Amino acid sequence: MWRRRRLPFKLIIMRARSAPTNTEAEREPAHGFSIAGHVLTAPKAAAGLYLVATPIGNLGDITLRALQTLAGVDVIACEDTRISRRLTERYGIAAELTPYHEHNAAAVRPKILQRLAQGASIALVSDAGTPLISDPGFKLVREACAAGYVVTALPGPSSVLAALSLAALPTDRFFFEGFLPAKQTARRARLAELARIDATLVLFESGGRLHDTIADLAAILGAREAAICRELTKMHEEVTRAPLAELADHAHALETRGEFVLVIGPPAADAQVMGEAALDDLLRSALARSSVKDAVAHAVELSGRPRRELYARALALAKQSRAKDDHGED
């Protein structure tokens, strides 16, 4: 009886000391993450590039799949390691962080592609929200796809969609513009082009340019409903809804601290002809880079006005510009 009981014990010891098979090793969790004090395991991510959406403000806005992936990859490529580290530390993720942003992308991109060629698993994240929306990830994804590597998107937070949800404006068709030009002339010219788009517009803007941009929106786009979404998902989230003219009149009272998404409703059905101010801005911008003929052709396409009318206006603006140059005016 005594010997019979020792034999299974010896077999158990031998099995415990033997190396795991390849299949067993592949099933072993490589990393982990924690939620509210509970530690969860994450299997090692398969080779490939993972586009992981991260919170736009509230760190609680992240999916379980995103956490599992971030914990299981070999490296996380991010715009700012300091910002991404707040997220990884919050959830106890120990993955390597490496910077990948617009200033180093040309130098770092080949290194990331080389690691993918070696079978690495790499997550790409932005500072906030979904990668490739106003960040430098497009070229990396394009080259990874061209090279035949697996690219997987993990959907999640997006300030564009959050603002559209809160704006109380039509969402069946929308156009995302991102940031407008910083200089007023270029900004107003771009708005004149956007004025013809029959859809809700979504813009990003900084607090420092908010007042000027609202004024230009009111001048070029006219009587449209709009919403200013500030600090979305954060403690001081605020949404201001009003017509553009009203927002422009009270621009001095608008809070300029934080991050902003502007949502502007589509043009009214009877507002298909571009206004005088928008038309002049469009023509001035076109005349600065092309001939009168080409500027008029461009304006006809965007404004809905007759060619003869636009040609006369373009000649008048060109004459004004030459007169200013002759007198040395700015």
What is the structure's pLDDT at 139?
Answer: 94
* pLDDT single digits (tens) 141-187: 999 999 999 999 999 999 999 999 999 999 999 999 999 999 998 99
| CATH number of the structural domain 160-264 | 3.30.950.10
- The closest alpha carbon to 220, from 247, 251, 265, 190, belongs to 190
Judge contact between 66 and 52, C-beta under 8 A.
yes
Domain boundaries, the chain: 31-157, 160-264, 276-326
- The closest alpha carbon to 200, from 154, 233, 166, 248, belongs to 166
Across the range 18-37, mean pLDDT stands at 61
* pLDDT single digits (tens) 232-251: 999 999 999 999 999 999 88
Q: Which residues contact 271 (CB under 8 A, 6 or more apart)?
A: 222, 223
What is the structure's pLDDT at 18?
Answer: 37
Q: Name the phi and psi angles at 111, rounded to 5.
A: -70, -40
What is the structure's pLDDT at 12?
Answer: 33
The 3-state DSSP class for residue 155 equals coil
Distance CA 191, CA 177 (A): 10
pLDDT at 28 over 50: no
Q: Which helix (H) or strand (E) holds 203?
A: strand 200-206
* pLDDT single digits (tens) 122-138: 999 999 999 988 777 99
Of 54-68, 98-112, 126-140, where does mean pLDDT reach its minimum?
126-140
What is the structure's pLDDT at 129?
Answer: 94
User: What radius of gyration, in Å, describes the C-alpha atoms of the chain?
Assistant: 28
Instruction: Detail the DSSP E strand segments found in 15-150.
Output: 29-35, 38-43, 48-52, 75-78, 96-99, 121-124
Q: Name the phi and psi angles at 174, rounded to 5.
A: -145, 155
Judge contact between 50 and 152, C-beta under 8 A.
yes
Q: Name the phi and psi angles at 263, rounded to 5.
A: -120, 125
pTM: 0.74
* pLDDT single digits (tens) 219-231: 889 889 999 999 9
Of 112-116, 148-152, 302-306, where does mean pLDDT reach its minimum?
302-306
The single-letter code of the amino acid at 114 is Q
The single-letter code of the amino acid at 157 is P
| CATH number of the structural domain 31-157 | 3.40.1010.10
